[in-house]
Structure 1
Amino acid sequence: MTDHQPEPIGTGSPHEDRRQTGPVMLRRHKVPVTTTDQRLLEAHQPNEWLHADPWRVMRIQSEFVEGFGTLSELGPAAAVFGSARTRPDDPAYAIGVEVGRLLAEAGYAVITGGGPGAMEAANKGAFEAKGTSVGLGIELPFETGLNEYVDLGINFRYFFARKVMFLKYSRGFIVLPGGFGTLDELFEAVTLAQTQKVTEFPIVLMGVTYWQGLIDWLRDTVLEGGMISPSDLDRLVLTDDPHEAVRAIRSYEGPPA
């Protein structure tokens, strides 16, 4: 073998060279034929690496860094959830506007998913009250971006990063009528409160007629079957009154500074 011929890689010998790449150890046929620096500096490369799991970790990290950096000085805030399908002529839309307005007047930033429908309504209420209107959007094939009433917006690729921002920077949830996404956020919060991952975290369900069936099922089936405790159900405040909803948020900590 001449000096100009490369050493064969991966012949199966247990005594072959190995390569340490950070915490990862590679041997035999797993040792790449090129180095990281070489691949970095090559001009013409395929872009499959953009979709590889290690790169996704960096992208996930960047979403957390961006979210924490943007929201860390937000101040007292409450999250409002509800369906993107709520139309402006739906009574739930008007309730969302009123909830957003009252939260802003009480000194809270209003955080929503940033989309249309009930989310837009709460952002509109905060905007019209000259409060801080926040939208945490999510990349979806059928969404059109953040609504026009969002003053401070972040778009996320990953639901779990977005959920952390809602829970970390909100002092309570107000939940308007909604579908699977709204239910997902609702039960995520209830589960974290039940397991004491978050403490003193009020959860208000706006719309007695809409939510009463769910409350009845939780009480008559889930609680009756011993799957939850009475205190788990007591965490949920059910009301039609936006003022009562905001009082429930404030009661856990007193008025924000």
Structure 2
Amino acid sequence: MSDAGGEPRRTQDRDYHQGPVVMRRSKVPGSTTDQRLLDDDGSADWLHTDPWRVMRIQSEFVNGFGALAEVGPAVSVFGSARTRPDAPEYALGEQVGRALVEAGYAVITGGGPGAMEAANKGALEAGGTSVGLGIELPFEAGLNPHVDLGVNFRYFFARKTMFVKYACGFIVLPGGFGTLDELFEAVTLVQTQKVTSFPIVLVGSRYWGGLLDWLRETAAATGTVSERDLALLTLTDDVDEAVRTVVEADERAGRAARRPARGTE
């Protein structure tokens, strides 16, 4: 994902994606599937509906696993949906997508606009696999045009599982709440050893430096995080260094050899 950016638009003016279903105009619902799952209206209707929701949740995992199982080595790239095509961060996203493909990786994003679109575009133009994992939101317009393998999800938690399960690392571009959510969830999974040998790279020292300073000078200083926790994050302005961090982590983990870079096949 990342940040569900921009001002909300009238949902009736565009396609609305709910899993594999597309709705328009009067068929667009007034709330999302996640919202209906998590809201508590005080009634006991959930006693009768939640068991069926489990089947829908199961289907999201099955569809995601089936679509992504043969993608091969991949890296998830996150960043703001608000990033404009003329912004330096957009060009940075394109560079990241291109460099990952040249290193033998597929690129997985949230499939939205902005930085996600940029990474997908760079991957596609480099001849690699460009994956988008979309989410049902009231103000997003579906997958960006540079995705060549896309899966739409109703539930954030199912989608987040795919970001981690089918990637061997995260590269994080400047972003907002959605990006921060994915970043800190990944850090927590590595910290608690739910995933291992999983590099997390922040690209953009001017953007991310203040956050790392706060973590070091406030959180670590008060003992709520450790220096070892902070070492889980790599900060750089160099796209090549970001990709090299992922490659070196793979090599240390002894994972299977990567696909050859484009032009060497």
- TM-score, normalization by structure 2: 0.77
Q: Does 1:95 align with 2:97?
A: no
Of 55, 74, 77, which residue of structure 1 is paired with 2:74? 77
Return 5+ residue gaps in structure 2 as ranges. 1-44, 252-256, 260-265
Counterpart-to-counterpart distance in 2, 1:234 and 1:75: 28
Counterpart-to-counterpart distance in 2, 1:171 and 1:213: 26
| Secondary structure, aligned partner of 2:131 | strand
Of 160, 165, 168, which residue of structure 1 is paired with 2:165? 168
Counterpart-to-counterpart distance in 2, 1:235 and 1:158: 28
Deviation at 1:231, TM superposition (A): 1.1
1:30-52 CA-partner distances (Å, limit 9, x unpaired): xxxxxxxxxxxxxxxxxx99x92
Counterpart-to-counterpart distance in 2, 1:87 and 1:55: 40
Deviation at 1:221, TM superposition (A): 0.5
Q: Does 1:179 align with 2:181?
A: no
Tell me which amino acid in the other structure corresponds to 1:199. T
Deviating beyond 6 angstroms after TM superposition, the runs of 4 or more aligned structure 1 residues are: none
Cα RMSD (Å) of the superposition?
1.3
Of 114, 117, 128, which residue of structure 2 is paired with 1:117? 114
| Secondary structure, aligned partner of 2:218 | helix
Counterpart-to-counterpart distance in 2, 1:56 and 1:173: 30
| Secondary structure, aligned partner of 1:253 | helix
Query: Residue in 1 aligned with 2:135?
Result: 138
Tell me which amino acid in the other structure corresponds to 1:177. P
Counterpart-to-counterpart distance in 2, 1:85 and 1:61: 32
Deviation at 1:241, TM superposition (A): 0.8
Of 50, 54, 60, which residue of structure 2 is paired with 1:53? 50
| Secondary structure, aligned partner of 1:52 | helix
Q: Which has the higher contact order (CA 8 A, sep 6+)?
A: 2
Counterpart-to-counterpart distance in 2, 1:90 and 1:241: 17
Counterpart-to-counterpart distance in 1, 2:223 and 2:216: 10
1:2-60 CA-partner distances (Å, limit 9, x unpaired): xxxxxxxxxxxxxxxxxxxxxxxxxxxxxxxxxxxxxxxxxxxxxx99x9211111000
Deviation at 1:176, TM superposition (A): 0.4
Query: Residue in 2 aligned with 1:256?
Result: 258
Return 5+ residue gaps in structure 1 as ranges. 1-47
Of 183, 186, 189, which residue of structure 1 is paired with 2:186? 189
| Secondary structure, aligned partner of 2:171 | strand
Deviation at 1:196, TM superposition (A): 0.4
Tell me which amino acid in the other structure corresponds to 1:149. H
Tell me which amino acid in the other structure corresponds to 2:258. P
Of 231, 236, 247, which residue of structure 2 is paired with 1:234? 231
| Secondary structure, aligned partner of 1:137 | strand
Deviation at 1:116, TM superposition (A): 0.2
Of 216, 220, 237, which residue of structure 2 is paired with 1:219? 216
Deviation at 1:162, TM superposition (A): 0.2
Counterpart-to-counterpart distance in 1, 2:65 and 2:190: 22
Query: Residue in 1 aligned with 2:22?
Result: none
| Secondary structure, aligned partner of 1:237 | strand
Percent identical among aligned pairs is 73
Tell me which amino acid in the other structure corresponds to 1:79. S
Deviation at 1:216, TM superposition (A): 0.2
Deviation at 1:219, TM superposition (A): 0.2
- TM-score, normalization by structure 1: 0.80
Deviation at 1:73, TM superposition (A): 1.1
Deviation at 1:256, TM superposition (A): 1.4
